[in-house]
Amino acid sequence: MPVATDAFYLIDHRLLAIVMVAVLLAACEIGYRLGLRRVDVPDSKRTLISGIGGAMFGLLGLLLGFALAMAISRWDVRRDVIIQEANAIGTLSLRAVLLEEPLRGQLQEAMRAYTEARVVLGGSRDQPDVLGKALNDSEDLHVVIWSVVERANQPNTSNAILTSQINSANQVIDLHELRLSSLQNHLPATLFYMLVSLGAVSVGFIAWGFGAASSHRGRAPPILLAILIAAVLLLIMDVNRPQRGIIEVGVAPLERAAESIVEPGK
């Protein structure tokens, strides 16, 4: 089944979300409490610490923007691959009517089963057995599809028809590996570690400044800032995980392709 080689992407996304929010809020609370102990610090030093925190936030914002852009570009690639695959399946299915029976029915039946397996392959990674079976079925059907195309090489089949069948079958098979690669093309886990660490340090500095400025109140603004950073990080992580979370690539083009395939015998 398509899995990421990095152990980071094998961790449940809900657990990662909880840990990420907890780290940022903990950094906020620690920074604020340390600031409360230094309410007598000179204004010059308080300004310096706040300036460092602001500089860190500027760097964090830049990195978050780049990370989001990279995650969205990967999401777009995954969507485009599914569209290409649906088009290739539809093309080969339409060209199947050019063959004589029983090859026509065999190819149409194989394409229907193959399309259903590709739809299942877009499901959640929380079902590894289902995805593993869909992947194995897809690879087995490659052999079936190519076998039908090979047997179409008969004296009564024109070169134009045979060439079109070969090209379409090749495209369907080639897109299989391209789709698996797109599912495994994640942002480096190190990037998320760095973003969370930088976010925690930045929130800690800002919270320190609020704590040093007032011994009675001032915790709410850095907490809201920490939650906002966590929300952006969770958005990036969600877009970057195509088979988990809320934002999905979707397999609607493949579902439409499955509906358009003519049933054998019709």
Provide the whole-model pTM. 0.82
| Structural domain range at position 122 | 7-26+42-260
Q: Which pLDDT value is given to residue 265?
A: 52
In a domain, 180, yes or no: yes
DSSP symbols for 17-44: HHHHHHHHHHHHHHHHHHHHTTTTS-HH
- pLDDT one-digit tens code per residue, 87-123: 999 999 988 888 888 888 999 999 999 999 999 888 7
Smallest CA-to-CA distance from 148 within 113, 102, 112, 114 is with 102
Percent of the chain having pLDDT more than 70? 94
In a domain, 265, yes or no: no
- pLDDT one-digit tens code per residue, 153-170: 887 778 888 889 999 999
Q: Determine contact, residues 262/97, Cβ cutoff 8 Å.
A: yes
In a domain, 266, yes or no: no
In a domain, 252, yes or no: yes
In a domain, 92, yes or no: yes
Is residue 56 scored above 50 in pLDDT?
yes
In a domain, 16, yes or no: yes
In a domain, 229, yes or no: yes
Least confident window among 34-38, 74-78, 131-135, 252-256: 34-38
Q: Which pLDDT value is given to residue 212?
A: 80
Q: Which pLDDT value is given to residue 215?
A: 55
Instruction: Identify the sign of the CA torsion 166, 170, 171, 172.
Output: positive
* Total count of domains within the chain: 1
DSSP symbols for the chain: ----SSGGGGS-HHHHHHHHHHHHHHHHHHHHHHHHTTTTS-HHHHHHHHHHHHHHHHHHHHHHHHHHHHHHHHHHHHHHHHHHHHHHHHHHHHHGGGSPTTHHHHHHHHHHHHHHHHHHHTS-TT-HHHHHHHHHHHHHHHHHHHHHHHHT--TTS-HHHHHHHHHHHHHHHHHHHHHHHHHH-PPPHHHHHHHHHHHHHHHHHHHHHHHHH-SSS--HHHHHHHHHHHHHHHHHHHHH-TTSSS-----HHHHHHHHHSPPTT-
Distance CA 49, CA 64 (A): 22
Is residue 243 scored above 70 in pLDDT?
yes
Half-sphere exposure (Cβ direction) of 139: Cα atoms closer than 13 Å = 9
In a domain, 167, yes or no: yes
As a whole number, mean pLDDT of residues 49-75 equals: 90
Q: What average pLDDT does the structure give for the chain?
A: 86
